[in-house]
Amino acid sequence: MVKSRSLMAAGAIATTAVLALVGCSSADGGADDAETTTLTVWVDAERVDALKDVAKAYEDKTDIKVDLVSKANAEIKDDFTQQAPTGKGPDIVMGAHDWLGELVTNGVVAPIELADKQDEFLEVAYEAATYEGQQYLLPYGVENIAVLRNTELVPEAKATFDEMLAAGTFVVESDGSGLANPYHLYPFQTAFGAPVFGSDENGYDTTDLQLGNEGGLAFAQWLAAQGAAGVIDTELTGDIAKERFLSGDAAFWLTGPWNVGVAVDAGIDVAVDPIPTPGTEAAQPFAGVKGFLLNEQSKNKVAANDFLVNYLGTVEVQNALFDSGKVLPALKESADYAASDEIVAGFREVGADAVPMPAAPAMGAVWEFWGIAEGAILNGEDPVATWQKLAADVEAAIAG
Amino acid sequence: MILLKIVALGIVDAIAVYALFVLVLSDEWLVAGIVAVVTIAVNWIYFSHRALPAKYLTPGVLFLLVFQVFVVGYTAYVGFTNYGTGHNSDKAQAVQALMSSARERVPDSETYKVTVVESLQGLGMLVTDPEGDAYLGAPDSPLERVDAVMEGGVAVAVDGWTSLSFSDVLKRQSEVFDLEVPFSSDLNEGVLRTADGSSANIYTSRLVYDDVADTMTNTATGEVFADTGEGAFVSESGEELLPGWRITVGFDNFARAFGEESIRDPLISVTLWTIVFALLSVASTFFLGLFLAIVFNYKRMRGRKFYRIVMILPYAFPAFLSALIWSGMLSERYGFVNQVLLGGAEIPWLTDPLLAKFSVLFVNLWLGFPYMFLIATGALQAIPDDVVEAATVDGAKPWQVFRLIKLPLLLVTMAPILISSFAFNFNNFNLIYMLTGGGPRDASAAVNVGATDILISMVYKVAFTGQFRDYGLASAFTIIIFILVAVISIVSFRKTRMLEDLN
């Protein structure tokens, strides 16, 4: 009796299993039969909406389906690096140009052919798309910092740093807990003629560290003076800087286009000014270039190349991306089109001086020490000795 | 009941069979084998009449295996590899990536319009040069001038070959992407390749891979890079070509952790601080929690319930959120503590190495005491009144009652909690990451480790920050953490067994 019940049970299980299996397999088979090529594209969650129409238009044009997958910006790079080797990664991934060093060293991105289009892109965008002489990134947007000015408090742009300080309070964000934010301070550093690396026709030369040159020491001394005067403060974090500008407490805010929206929403009449140089040379901010990268392990490389170079790299598409995303386009012609927007035009003007953030892995060594040294100088450490030690530490870290 | 069992097992089996199906199709034989064995075992357990205890234990054991044993085992495995930036995939992929980044377009060369064509011999390219002349070529025959059907200035068809439409190209895109047509009989002039199926460029390669000798040769300098078993192609002068690939490196990561001075010194100091931090956190939260529990256990106090609720509040907020808020409140010049409570003092709560350690412990006390308070309150109420009364009748003073009767009885219930709390604080990543980020960092140190970094936050920095991630080294660290916590826990559980004799 007991035996036969078990047997019955086994039979029932087998039936259920087979039924379930049939159900699953038939559903699967349907998808496999379809002949369309599908490109999987990982997109920064904040920008996925801007891309939807463009992707749809490409589908209509070519019958290649574009599957946009929204990913949190902080996770895209690591997830992509880990999944690409399994062959299950996306065909295309949205990323920033400064990821290139790491991604190329990991062998997960493939070069794309942009050489004929060099003149169509903004110089900084093309430069940023290039790593060790090869182009890996299809640039679509360029971002850099500039000075936001509250026009109610200060109606006119100021030409020099001291004039600006005299006209109103200036805020720039730091990382807090004794750390400066070197990204935001970089324009002042270049104003003294101290870029991180020297550069040649292939882009940055990471063996030529310029950080510790005479200009760097002059910048360190200037920084110490600003720290002592309380103009730049390591404890003034991004949130505090934002709050002080929004409350009308500060008239100038050195920040990027990502913060313009919140200022406009707060009812502030914002103007975008060039960064006034405290030194002898132009204050060059870092440019961050956003774009799309091709997975080296993609099985749809022809479709992906077509989508990237022949579609996303065209003026109409970059115009459309600008309309939906309001980021300065990487193509010259589209950038001109975007000039109708005063804010974007303002940032572009400042960005004419911008230099791409170095993408080489050696830059990791710089970031590691940079903010600490600047923070220490702002908080009263000896500027020259600290800056020299920074240069020595970075040099040792790159070599070792 | 039997019906429920059948349906539940049926669902499990259906999922298992489906999983097998998928796994076998994708050639995952090992995993497929494991799934098959486990499924058979589960079926046997639930149909057999002899395996009664197993029926209760199986689900738990399975989850333990999947979520604990496997994860620990895999981490341990990674600890013995060179997995990290530059060693991210296998050798075949590394070779592929090296070759594709070494492929350089011939400077100032033209772009050719291309139509992919096919004959019995395979794929070929029908190209149109900028002057409008048509050429035909295939992998084994260099470009030759042909007469072709032109359409809008582009050659679209030629006799003896079938032209592929874009959708045909897409169906065979790997083949098309890898198609290389020699530009001329001189191979040094490069090959034509098409990335998008409609235009082609001439490329030469900076590297040549010799798969027999397993070496990479730089065509410009003639330098030879060989696989010397280090997970990358290395030249004689020691220069590495990256990307390399993942290999097992034995105990190298552990040797580095203990051998390299720049890693060992911070590792030792961080380990000591981690132990101090965990011990002090447990001790401080335990004593404060216990003290408050005793105070609020005093039956004649009014509004005890209200106070108890207030006490538990810090426990009700997510810990990482509280840590973040504390980090803002302790800010040197803008924080609530300095600005409002201390009237504008500039105390470097989070930026002075010693004060930062104190702040971390203080915030952890604030976060952790309600838990101890709750447990201690429960444990106190579970101590029978008659024991205490008997002690009082025997003439014990309150302090003696507490020290000799209540505390030992409390410890019976609380000792395991203290041990697990130690293990928790040993790996209290949220607090450190949110409050200080491990800082303040010593500007004079050569590695990225700060004064309040504990082992797990150091592991995070090694594995997930900077441009050179080192998952292998980070995994080796986690194994060290695992061993430390396991040893301390085992020893303390042994010790607490003595307490159980009290009951």
The pTM is what?
0.85
Chain A positions touching B101 (Cβ under 8 A) are 104, 107, 110-111, 132, 134
pLDDT at B311: 84
Of B101, B111, B468, the CB nearest to A361: B468
List b or e across A363-395, with b for residues whose CB sees 16 or more CB atoms inside 10 angstroms. bbbbbbbbbbbbbbbbbebebeebbbbbbebbe
pLDDT digits (tens, 9 = 90+) for B357-414: 999 999 999 999 999 999 999 998 888 888 888 888 988 888 888 888 888 888 888 8
* Confidence band of A6 (pLDDT split at 50, 70, 90): low
* CATH class entry, domain A145-286+358-399: alpha beta
Residue ranges per domain, chain B? 2-79, 92-205, 257-500
Cβ burial of B497 (10 Å; 0-12, 13-18, 19+) is exposed
* Interface size between A and B, measured as CB pairs under 8 A: 191
Judged by a CB distance cut-off of 8 A, whether residue B94 touches chain A is yes
Residues of B in contact with A10 (CB under 8 A): 47
Contacts for B141 with CB less than 8 Å, ≥ 6 apart? B182
Q: What pLDDT is recorded for position A3?
A: 45
Looking at CA atoms only, how far is residue B254 from chain A in angstroms? 19
Four-way CATH pick for A38-143+288-356: 3.20.20.70, 3.40.140.10, 3.40.50.2300, 3.40.190.10: 3.40.190.10
Q: Find chain A residues with C-beta within 8 A of B440's C-beta.
A: 177-178
pLDDT in tens, A225-277: 999 999 999 989 999 999 999 999 999 999 999 899 899 999 999 999 999 99
CA distance B275 to chain A (A): 24
Q: Taking 90 as the threshold, does the pLDDT of residue B52 lie above it? A: no
End-to-end CA distance of chain B: 41
Is residue B197 within 8 angstroms of chain A, CB to CB?
Answer: yes
Element (H, E) at A147: strand A146-150
Question: What percent of chain B is helix, strand and coil (3-state, nearest 5)?
Answer: 55, 15, 30
φ/ψ of A278, rounded to 5, equals -90, -10
Compute, in degrees rounded to 10, the torsion defined by CA atoms A124, A125, A128, A134.
-120
- Indicate the length of chain A as a whole number: 400
Q: For residue range B462-492, what is the model confidence (pLDDT) as tens digits?
A: 888 877 888 999 999 999 999 998 998 898 8
Contact A368 B89 (CB under 8 A): no
Q: What are phi and psi of B116, to 5 degrees?
A: -80, 130
Which chain B residues are closer than 8 Å to A367 by Cβ? 466
**Residues of A in Cβ contact (< 8 Å) with B242:** 105, 107
Q: Which of A131, A302, A368, A374 to mutate: most B Cβ within 10 Å?
A: A302
* Under 8 Å between Cβ of B340 and B325: no
Q: How far apart are CA A381 and CA A375, in angstroms?
A: 9
Q: Which of residues 34-73 of B touch A (CB under 8 A)?
A: 43, 47, 49
pLDDT tens digits, A106-154 = 999 999 998 788 899 999 999 999 998 899 999 999 999 999 999 999 9
Is B196 in CB contact (< 8 Å) with chain A? Answer: yes
With a cut of 50, say whether residue A1 has pLDDT above it: no
Decide if B430 touches A, using CB distance below 8 A.
no
Contacts of A179 in chain B (CB under 8 A): 439
- Pick B2-79's CATH classification: 1.20.58, 2.40.160, 1.10.287, 3.30.2010: 1.20.58
Contacts of B108 in chain A (CB under 8 A): none
pLDDT tens profile A75-119? 999 999 999 998 889 999 999 999 999 999 999 999 999 878 889
Range A214-230 average pLDDT: 94
Separation in Å, CA A23 to CA A12, A16, A234, B332: 17, 11, 61, 63
How many residues comprise chain B? Answer: 503
CA distance B52 to A261: 65
Cβ <8 Å between A305 and B440 = no
pLDDT surpasses 60 at A25: no
* CB-CB under 8 Å, B242 with A176: no
What is the CATH topology of the domain spanning B257-500?
MetI-like fold (1.10.3720)
Tokens of A42: 């990982």
Tokens (6 digits) for B398: 């309150």
CA gyration radius for chain A? 26
Q: Which two tokens stand for residue B150?
A: 């032109």
Decide if pLDDT at B436 tops 80: yes
pLDDT at A23: 45
Stretch(es) of chain A classified as CATH 3.40.190.10: 38-143+288-356, 145-286+358-399
